[in-house]
């Protein structure tokens, strides 16, 4: 399990600076943040992005996220499918195995059964689209109060019902905690279904009040990072450990922040393996 830098940790950083920070901090893998990638493609194109990664000796393990993929109207669904085609095309060009997707808001009056049905229909279509490019779709359960798919149990229900090898699970430790997911559900997961683990901790506060800006460095809060990594390893899986915690306001040293997150991820991995930190 190797640490990977997420461009979402510094969304305001230009892509070139983002990749420089990752390489300077010692990473050899990155999760490309799609909003900044789309902007950069207008200037340099897919080949330019692939060249930038090669110059920095970085592997792209995933792109994303495509957000709000569920409970769209017909036009909105066609738009998200088109976005998947574009993202999967790019993922194949840069060698990334996965495109991350996140659920949308659960509408008023919709219950869990509605959310699962909607998730099955939408994720089946998105995974079929990604398969054309030999790229997988990694579903991120979003633990925040508004989300239609909040838990690992719900995500696994959809993945198992669809039954496509192109559809996997992205375990985000912050959302795992926020949504009240169970470690027992992870223990029931098939190793091949785990696309990646996204590491971020959570403060000791009311779960329903948590928002994205509350993400903390691994090991700095009450999240289940150590236990979750241990279970994933026990299953025989070895996905990338993508570190996603926001660069603090006013912090100008992105490389230093990326290095701090990498060290925290490696410490958590050693603890999960039962080895002492150096």
Does residue 256 belong to any structural domain of this protein?
yes
Average pLDDT in the chain: 95
pLDDT higher than threshold 60 for residue 186: yes
How confident is the model at residue 277, as a pLDDT?
Answer: 42
How confident is the model at residue 276, as a pLDDT?
Answer: 43
Residues of the chain with pLDDT > 70, as a percent, come to 99
Does residue 119 belong to any structural domain of this protein?
yes
How confident is the model at residue 274, as a pLDDT?
Answer: 78
Does residue 150 belong to any structural domain of this protein?
yes
pLDDT digits (tens, 9 = 90+) for 241-267: 999 999 998 888 999 999 999 999 999
Does residue 115 belong to any structural domain of this protein?
yes
pLDDT higher than threshold 50 for residue 100: yes
Q: How many domains does the chain have?
A: 1
Q: Domain range holding 129? A: 3-273
Q: How many distinct helices (H) and strands (E) make up the chain? A: 9, 8
Q: Which residues of 252-277 are buried (b: 16+ CB within 10 A; e: fewer)?
A: eebeebbbbbbbbbbebbebbeeeee
pLDDT digits (tens, 9 = 90+) for 18-40: 999 999 999 999 999 999 999 88
Q: What is the CATH number of the domain that holds 198?
A: 3.20.20.150
User: For residue 216, what are the β-bridge partners?
Assistant: 201
Tokens of 150: 């909040």
How confident is the model at residue 278, as a pLDDT?
Answer: 40
Taking Cα atoms as reference points, which of 29, 24, 11, 67 lies closest to residue 240?
Answer: 29
Does residue 278 belong to any structural domain of this protein?
no
Nearest-angstrom CA–CA distance, 17 and 19: 5
Does residue 235 belong to any structural domain of this protein?
yes
């Amino acid at each position: 399990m190797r640490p990977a830098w997420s461009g979402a940790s510094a969304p305001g950083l230009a892509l070139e600076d983002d990749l420089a920070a990752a390489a300077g901090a010692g990473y050899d893998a990155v999760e490309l943040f799609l909003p900044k990638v789309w902007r950069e493609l207008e200037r340099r194109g897919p080949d330019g992005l692939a060249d930038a990664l090669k110059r920095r000796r970085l592997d792209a393990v995933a792109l994303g996220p495509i957000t709000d993929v569920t409970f769209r109207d017909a036009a909105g669904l066609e738009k998200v499918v088109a976005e998947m085609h574009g993202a999967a095309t790019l993922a194949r060009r840069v060698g990334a195995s996965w495109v991350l997707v996140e659920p949308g808001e659960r509408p008023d009056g919709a219950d869990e059964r509605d959310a699962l049905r909607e998730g099955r229909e939408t994720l089946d279509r998105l995974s079929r689209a990604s398969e054309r490019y030999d790229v997988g779709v990694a579903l991120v359960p979003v633990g925040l109060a508004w989300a239609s798919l909040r838990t690992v149990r719900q995500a696994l229900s959809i993945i198992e019902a669809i039954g496509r090898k192109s559809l996997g699970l992205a375990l985000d430790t912050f959302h795992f905690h926020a949504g009240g997911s169970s470690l027992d559900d992870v223990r029931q997961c098939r190793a091949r279904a785990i696309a990646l683990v996204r590491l971020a901790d959570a403060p000791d506060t009311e779960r329903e009040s948590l928002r994205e800006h509350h993400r903390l460095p691994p090991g700095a809060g009450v999240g289940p990072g150590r236990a979750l990594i241990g279970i994933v390893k026990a299953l025989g899986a070895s996905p990338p450990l993508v570190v996603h915690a926001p660069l603090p306001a006013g912090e100008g040293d992105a490389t230093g922040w990326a290095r701090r997150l990498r060290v925290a991820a490696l410490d958590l991995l050693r603890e999960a393996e039962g080895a002492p930190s150096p």
